[in-house]
Structure 1
């Protein structure tokens, strides 16, 4: 038996019972900090004359919670907000009054249990470890001041405040349901950028930080894409979009920039590679009836004949017997206007067996027309290229005389990849580094 006194052991056993009693929010404690917390409680109940098991368990918990860069209390709240369980899933799709009463009662029980774990501070854990280990000084207490996070939505702030300020968390159930209905839950609530890989969604912790204001030279295309995205965010019918044209013209950057432009409006960007387009219908159904709005992003799109990915994308673009969800659109980029490769041998000859062979050819050529909106990116002429260079140089704080800047930009384009938005960015990045080195 542990060397802790009866009162401390009773408190630890109470916390273990509370954790074991969770019905819906069990996975709140399934990440490393939660697992280490439960292991620490278990270790504190055991006897160890030298106290090593207590110190090791405390060190494991300290490291796990420090890795989150949150206090134990903030960590638990974020786990509750992100948790994916039957209550959070149903709360996204229906009003609170329509939820089964047994489900609401289970949530109330879980919140009461989680509040007990929330109130167990790092200082209390440290004191228990000190007492059990007979240390002259308590181990360092992990503590993290709560930061004011500017990117939080009003719904997130309200849900967090509700849990932090209420004396009884069972009163927070309706506020939590409203949060899930507005912000969603699970991986779709945690990440703004995701990737479909090996049959599942994976969050992208560090998405591209490119901003719309950094892009220049194709303003009309940018404005059309932003207007269509506004329709999506406002709940109006939005069109699938094909961005095609010259390489390096900023097609992909423009799509990625939308995520940063509308970061606080529940927009999500899901990257799907051509090889995974066969799963497109599955992805779309996964996103149906959740509160976020989704751009499925397919980069560098083209097809071979009889490509299964072509058939899968065609179903999503044209629809089938299943109604299209209003919160999902496909934005694809391509260097080709005609997305399916066509060869001269494909053109019908009198000896061909197919009676209506030209219909097949036209189907291939018209596939890109199935996108509701097509944005064309012509190769950058000298004027457009220099406009992009000047814009990027201003963004980067480069103050070279205009004549020298443009001369060097043209020289760079000649020696490297020709005139394009990508070449302009590479030139400005190089120039910024060169000037910083000279100033140093």
Structure 2
């Protein structure tokens, strides 16, 4: 049976052991954080990678030797010039029935590639009459003299100032081409194009011209009620209102206007014959083919160069059967 003194000694030894085993309050605690830090860094790097895809990337020059034509692509903050490797082979000789329009654009483009003063060009008129084909034929004509073509969609016209800055120091001559252009009220590309054509603080590069095609002469929709804004003066003069003036102001910034009109039947037949011969149709089949080309045009409600070309492809493809 333990004595009282022995019990006290045992209790003291137990307390001392507890005091020895327990850590001191001011003693440093060692914890292995390497695994947690590695996981944290991995998550941070993943987040940065995702953010990088959302940030605009610096614009770099393309391989200018890759092609004579490029497309301006702007998607998800990434902007780049992409070379076009398969080009339309159309030439000026393929453009039938638009000889006057061809001469104007050819003369202006020749002045441009020779370093002489030249104008921005607005090509307007009926659909399928060869507006964009005229621009492509100009590239094929003058590419060996340093002409290059850059196609820009309407939605990307807001990037025009950035694009022209990129091209300004290049030795080539650039046509910035926007096809089938038209604007609705308030579209951002409208003001960007207007600023680049004329009126911006910075001057447009000497080696850049803008060629645009449109079905609208003034590039904007025109409404009947806008005629009410015209002012009739006592001397009989008529002055357009502010709305009309604003809509006209963009098209007026193009120095050269080239208008296209619907083809006559004779011109349509000339175009159809040209493309039929290009697809290998011989003289013996030609009369029959041309008669059918008129029916083809009637069914489509249009005598355009595009319709004539489509007929020639169809006829040649089925061998006139």
- TM-score, with structure 2 as normaliser: 0.72
* Offset of residue 242 of structure 1: 0.7
Residues 62 and 82, structure 2, Cα contact 8 Å, conserved in 1: no
- Please tell me the root mean square deviation across aligned C-alpha atoms, in Å: 2.3
- Preserved contact between residue 194 and residue 270 of structure 1 (Cα < 8 Å): yes
Secondary structure, aligned partner of 1:263: helix
Moved over 4 A (4+): 345-350
Aligned to 1:358: 241
Q: Tell whether 2:67 aligns with 1:196.
A: no
Equivalent runs, 1:254-403 vs 2, <5 Å? 254-346=134-226, 358-401=241-284, 402-403=286-287
Equivalent of 1:430, from 294, 299, 314? 314
Cα distance in 1, alignment partners of residues 140 and 102 from structure 2: 14
1:211 equivalenced with 2:95 (yes/no):
no
CA deviation profile, 1:161-220 (whole Å, cap 9, x unmatched)? xxxxxxxxxxxxxxxxxxxxxxxx842232211001112211112122222222211011
Relative to total residues, which structure has the larger helix share, 1 or 2? 1
Preserved contact between residue 110 and residue 142 of structure 2 (Cα < 8 Å): no
- Equivalents in 1 of 2:296, 2:189: separation in Å? 39
**Residue number in structure 2 paired with 1:244:** 124
Deviation at 1:294, TM superposition (A): 0.6
Q: 1:218-257, CA deviations, whole angstroms, 9 ceiling, x for partnerless residues?
A: 0110111111110111011111001100000011111112
1:346-381 C-alpha deviation (Å, 9 max, x unpaired): 55679xxxxx99123222134212111111100111
Distance 2:226 2:99 in 1: 38
Conserved 8 A contact 1:232-1:326: no
Residue 405 of structure 1 corresponds to 289
Measure, in 2, the Cα distance between the counterparts of 1:398 and 1:419: 20
Unaligned runs of 5+ in 1: 1-88, 90-184, 351-355
Give TM-score scaled by structure 1 length: 0.53
More strand by share: 2
Relative contact order higher in (CA < 8 Å, ≥ 6 apart): 2
